[in-house]
Amino acid sequence: MKKLAIIGAGSMAEALISGILENSLIDRKNIWVTNHSNVERLQKLQERYGVSTTYELNELLAGADMVILSMKPKDVATAIHDIRDYLTEQMLVVSVLAGVSMSTIETLAKLPIAIVRAMPNTSAAVGKSATAVAVNERVTPQQIELMKNLFGTVGLTTFVEEGQLDAVTGLSGSGPAYIYYLIEAMEKSAVEVGLDKEMASELIVQTLIGAAEMVKNSAKSSEQLRRDVTSPGGTTEAGVKVLEEHQVQQAFISCIKAATAQSKKMGAALRTQLEVTEPTS
C-alpha cells in the first residue's frame, strides 16, 4: 500500500495506527490523518507516531490507496460530502462506524467504490480486539488479504456478512463493557468479604485471563468447563446458585439482544436522516 488516509483521530484511529506501525504494515510517512477541528489531537498523533496530518483534503487523499472512516457515525454524511470529490474508484473505503451500512456510504460518496465495514472493539488499544469484517462485491481478493493483515495488527479478525454486523456490535463491539461491568461487581464483592482491593484486582484479572485461555485452548464447551469446576455441595455451586436465582445468564442474553437492537435502530435512524439530507437525483 502506498498511502493510507484516516478521517477521524479518536482512540480507534490511534489503535490502528499503533498496530500498523508495530507490525511494519505501512511506513509512518505514508499514513495521513485528519479530523474535524481538533488541532491539538492531530499534533499529539504526529508527535507520538510520526504520521502526517493535514486539513487540506487534496493533500490528504491524493494518491491514497485506502481511506479509513473513523469519525463519529453522526458525522459521516458531512465527512463523506466533504471528501467525495477526491474519491476515486481505485480507492478502498474502510468504515469502522457502527450502524453505517455500505449502501449508505456508497450513496453518500455518489461513486461505485470498494467498501469494507469493520467492527473492532476497544481492546484494539492493546492488540486484543475481536474484529468482524464485511465487504462489498467490489473488494478484490488482494484487498481482502490486506484487511486480514490490517485488522490482524490489533487482534483477531473474522469475516461475516454485513447483515451480521449488528449482532457483532451487540456481542463483541460492546462486549468489553460487559466484562468491565462484571469486574466492577467482583471488585466490590472482594472488598465486602474483606480482601484488599489492589490484591483482589490482580486476582480477578488473572482469573479472567486464565478462564479465557481455558475456553480458547480446551476442546470442552464453556458449559462443560463450568460444570467441571462446580463440585456438588462446594463453594462454586453455592455461588452459581445465586447467579441462577438472579437470572444473570438471562440478563446477559437480554443485554446483548438489546445492544444488537440498538445498533439496528441507530442504522435505521441514520438512513432516514440521510434520505432527508441527501436526496437522490
> 174-246 in CATH: which number?
1.10.3730.10
Domain locations in the chain as residue ranges: 4-164, 174-246
Domain 4-164 belongs to what architecture? 3-Layer(aba) Sandwich (3.40)
The structure's pTM equals: 0.87
Confidence at residue 92, expressed as pLDDT on a 0 to 100 scale? 98
Task: Determine the Cα–Cα distance for residues 130 and 272; give it in Å rounded to an integer.
Answer: 30
Q: Which residues of the chain have pLDDT under 70?
A: 275-281
Confidence at residue 28, expressed as pLDDT on a 0 to 100 scale? 96
Confidence at residue 174, expressed as pLDDT on a 0 to 100 scale? 94
Confidence at residue 99, expressed as pLDDT on a 0 to 100 scale? 84
Confidence at residue 84, expressed as pLDDT on a 0 to 100 scale? 93
Task: Determine the Cα–Cα distance for residues 17 and 154; give it in Å rounded to an integer.
Answer: 10
Confidence at residue 279, expressed as pLDDT on a 0 to 100 scale? 44
Instruction: Compute the Cα dihedral for 62, 76, 113, 82 and give only its sign.
Output: negative
Confidence at residue 276, expressed as pLDDT on a 0 to 100 scale? 56
Confidence at residue 1, expressed as pLDDT on a 0 to 100 scale? 81
User: Count of CB atoms within 10 A of residue 145's CB?
Assistant: 10
